[in-house]
A and B are shown apart, each in its own frame.
Chain A
């Protein structure tokens, strides 16, 4: 037996599968009448993880804080995927750090790529950061095909530190191939 519930009125809705999601193949499927049963000790779909701290913001490359690249240079910051690509043509101008990335580990479609950059003053202090993002969602529609394995990037120097950034460092915390 199924009942519909009305907002604000305490009608006991029939939730036959409420606590027995473990017995349900389909979220949303109902199996008929009956009172709610006690939750099984193991829900079928784990949507919460005790002790887990969800992300509080966008990813950073913590190591950028530890680098002190010499003026005029672009250092390479360690990341989890350093064995999957190579940097090419890295250069720093007053306006941006740029270069290109060659994905060497895989040739299936490049789905996600983020280049994180740190900018440093003449004393080697980290004074600003920026990010360049290539995402699968940014695919152009049409017949252009998947992302290239060779990607050129440019991370602008933040406005508030223009003229003070004398060195940069780049790293990749996000890289996914199809």
Chain B
């Protein structure tokens, strides 16, 4: 069904790339659309990778003061998101074989919101048993929406890849296949043929599946000449060159034309903002910011023909610099991400028919704001006391009679000041805020913001979510990351719901995931199983997952699956 849409004439949009801001929208020849209740024309989905609640608070206090707000915090709907994953071969929540993993990685988190299923860490676009599941971006594309995928990481990295690839293992990124990094025998039993999409390098998938019309980020090393040719054959304007490993530039981005744009601005992840600030004359300082890429993506998508657009934006380096426990860099990445949020919000306010969602995949490293002048457990010789001498009933085990004291070997001065040269220093870093006197500098004990990390790994904390636009009220309160799939598909009027766990274990569906090399034999097997007409069976050759049997008893489903697999097909039984 063709949905009416509001058309914003993007030709009047100007993108001030140097300022990193989404500049004037100008006068728009907007065609007022009949808006379905709760439906929107566009969704902009922004992910601060690794951005927990404290990351937001720290960013706010650093750049806007205690009483200030980041742009994301001004969005009217606010809530929290649970992020847990599941173990390999686990069922979905509610199933008898549900086995949660309380700390997710970026891959399973991306699959949760992109496809509405819980899966194991490292999995992309498949459930925990290896079955391919469509993504929001794929569904949007198939329904006539324009699509975009923007990141500051390698474009093959988990968060962007979760929308436009399907892989047993996130490490299967390219440029070449390797069994160790692409197969997962715990899921599949035996190695999948290299023609199975789930073991095709993610770069190869991205270059050929046409899922995203606009692709901007890093990771040029993952792509080669064949990929570049495949992109150009699909009509992409390719910025830079994978064949010559020439990265795209900010100028390339500004001048990019066409409805489909592919631009990678670094051979690996994009350069952290603080490094660009500290080295303004470096080549890396010429890389576009996330806000620059967001503005360009919106401009390209809004101009093209389609029902509207779905755009995912990732501020990836919040996570990577949190892993490194580098607070100074983490803060600048939070700010850069928030600048991209500002671009999206400005567009949405002008457009009037866009849902903006800002959230994270997980928290990273247990970021903490500690009291000025205090010290953390990591700096201490022992943990805090656990004895109340006045009332022993208040004490629990393990009894610790002494207060913790600073360990001089683990705390050798403020980390971004006198303690900067000691690699074993766990002391906090301090940062001035706008509320501090002008004379206070970063690294001073007088600076108001004291920051510390718990570890170098992800944590299981719920993450914040902020949203604006029709349907945003659904994201107030506490939700799960898989709920975001249904929220977005409903907002865009995309058909179908997230796969529901099948509590009735007496019936099974048989899905043909891939035909494999012996197409004729597989199609013959399908005819034998289903009795379909020749034309119906031949339609399977077009590719894509297909339901072969629904609600079959276990014996029938197993027999069908065995028959198809003997013919060389890849099959899922759910």
Within 8 A of A (CB), among B519-569: 528-532, 536, 539-540, 542-553, 556, 559-560, 563
Q: Is the CB of A27 within 8 A of B511?
A: yes
Within 8 A of B (CB), among A5-38: 5-15, 17-19, 21-30, 36, 38
Question: How far apart are the CA atoms of A54 and B195 in the complex, in Å?
Answer: 5
* Cβ-closest 4 pairs across A and B: A43-B544, A25-B496, A10-B531, A55-B177
Given known A26-B116, A80-B221, A145-B457, contact A178–B181 (CB-CB < 8 A):
no
Q: Is the CB of A80 within 8 A of B547?
A: no
Given known A4-B553, A7-B560, contact A136–B194 (CB-CB < 8 A):
no
Q: Which residues of A contact B (CB under 8 A)?
A: 2, 4-15, 17-19, 21-30, 36, 38-40, 42-49, 51-52, 54-56, 58-59, 80-81, 83-84, 105-109, 111-112, 114, 133, 135-137, 145-146, 173-174, 176, 178
Q: Is the CB of B122 within 8 A of A24?
A: no
Instruction: Beyond A9-B531, A18-B546, A42-B141, list 18 extra A-B contacts (CB 8 Å).
Output: A4-B549, A6-B556, A7-B563, A10-B531, A13-B532, A13-B548, A13-B550, A18-B539, A21-B547, A24-B134, A27-B513, A28-B572, A30-B509, A46-B138, A107-B323, A107-B324, A111-B181, A137-B180
B66 at interface by CB-CB < 8 Å: no
Q: Is the CB of B268 within 8 A of A21?
A: no
Chain B residues within an 8 Å CB radius of A19:
536, 539, 546
Question: How far apart are the CA atoms of A13 and B200 in the complex, in Å?
Answer: 32
Task: For B229, give the chain A residue with the smallest CB separation.
Answer: A51
Query: What are some 7 contacts across the A-B interface (CB < 8 A)?
Result: A5-B549, A7-B556, A7-B560, A13-B529, A54-B194, A56-B194, A136-B181
B25 at interface by CB-CB < 8 Å: no
Q: Is the CB of A22 within 8 A of B180?
A: no
Within 8 A of A (CB), among B138-188: 138-139, 141-143, 166, 169-171, 173, 175-181, 184, 186
Q: Is the CB of A8 within 8 A of B552?
A: no
Question: How far apart are the CA atoms of A11 and B456 in the complex, in Å?
Answer: 58
Given known A46-B543, A47-B545, contact A173–B319 (CB-CB < 8 A):
no
Q: Is the CB of A25 within 8 A of B495?
A: yes
B210 at interface by CB-CB < 8 Å: yes
The residue from B180, B181, B320, B544 contacting A44, defined by CB atoms under 8 A apart = B544
Q: Is the CB of A28 within 8 A of B180?
A: no
B564 → A minimal CB distance (Å): 11
Q: Is the CB of A83 within 8 A of B495?
A: no
Q: Is the CB of A27 within 8 A of B547?
A: yes
Q: Is the CB of B181 within 8 A of A176?
A: yes
The residue from A46, A59, A81, A135 contacting B177, defined by CB atoms under 8 A apart = A59
Q: Is the CB of B178 within 8 A of A59?
A: yes
Q: Is the CB of B532 within 8 A of A12?
A: yes
Chain A residues within an 8 Å CB radius of B197:
45-48
A53 → B minimal CB distance (Å): 8
Question: How far apart are the CA atoms of A96 and B557 in the complex, in Å?
Answer: 51
Task: For B166, give the chain A residue with the smallest CB separation.
Answer: A45
Within 8 A of A (CB), among B172-231: 173, 175-181, 184, 186, 193-197, 200, 204-205, 208-211, 221-222, 230
Number of A-B contacts (CB under 8 A): 256
Given known A28-B509, A29-B496, A105-B268, contact A18–B485 (CB-CB < 8 A):
no
Task: For B485, give the chain A residue with the smallest CB separation.
Answer: A25
Q: Is the CB of B532 within 8 A of A83?
A: no
Question: How far apart are the CA atoms of A14 and B143 in the complex, in Å?
Answer: 24
Q: Is the CB of B171 within 8 A of A114?
A: no
Given known A4-B556, A15-B530, A30-B551, contact A135–B180 (CB-CB < 8 A):
yes
Q: Is the CB of A84 within 8 A of B268?
A: yes
Q: Is the CB of A58 within 8 A of B509?
A: no
The residue from A11, A51, A111, A173 contacting B176, defined by CB atoms under 8 A apart = A173
Question: How far apart are the CA atoms of A12 and B514 in the complex, in Å?
Answer: 22
B409 at interface by CB-CB < 8 Å: no
Question: How far apart are the CA atoms of A48 and B209 in the complex, in Å?
Answer: 9
B465 at interface by CB-CB < 8 Å: no
Q: Is the CB of A26 within 8 A of B133?
A: yes
Chain B residues within an 8 Å CB radius of A59:
176-178
Q: Is the CB of B134 within 8 A of A29?
A: no
Q: Is the CB of A49 within 8 A of B173?
A: no
The residue from B138, B194, B509 contacting A55, defined by CB atoms under 8 A apart = B194
Chain B residues within an 8 Å CB radius of A21:
134, 544-547
Question: How far apart are the CA atoms of A8 and B513 in the complex, in Å?
Answer: 22
Chain A residues within an 8 Å CB radius of B211:
46
Chain B residues within an 8 Å CB radius of A51:
230
B392 → A minimal CB distance (Å): 32
Within 8 A of A (CB), among B28-85: none
Q: Is the CB of B269 within 8 A of A111?
A: no
B215 → A minimal CB distance (Å): 15
Q: Is the CB of A36 within 8 A of B556?
A: no
Q: Is the CB of B171 within 8 A of A112?
A: yes
Interface centre among A22, A24, A48 (most CB of B within 10 A): A48
Q: Is the CB of B539 within 8 A of A44?
A: no
Interface centre among B134, B324, B514, B574 (most CB of A within 10 A): B134
Task: For A176, give the chain B residue with the smallest CB separation.
Answer: B171
B454 at interface by CB-CB < 8 Å: no
B498 at interface by CB-CB < 8 Å: yes
Interface centre among A10, A11, A84, A176 (most CB of B within 10 A): A176
The residue from A2, A7, A25, A48 contacting B559, defined by CB atoms under 8 A apart = A7
B494 at interface by CB-CB < 8 Å: yes
Given known A24-B134, A25-B489, contact A48–B173 (CB-CB < 8 A):
no
The residue from B170, B186, B545, B549 contacting A111, defined by CB atoms under 8 A apart = B170
B497 at interface by CB-CB < 8 Å: yes
Chain B residues within an 8 Å CB radius of A137:
169, 180, 184, 186
Question: How far apart are the CA atoms of A2 and B166 in the complex, in Å?
Answer: 29
A107 → B minimal CB distance (Å): 4
B341 at interface by CB-CB < 8 Å: no
Chain A residues within an 8 Å CB radius of B106:
178
Question: How far apart are the CA atoms of A123 and B323 in the complex, in Å?
Answer: 47
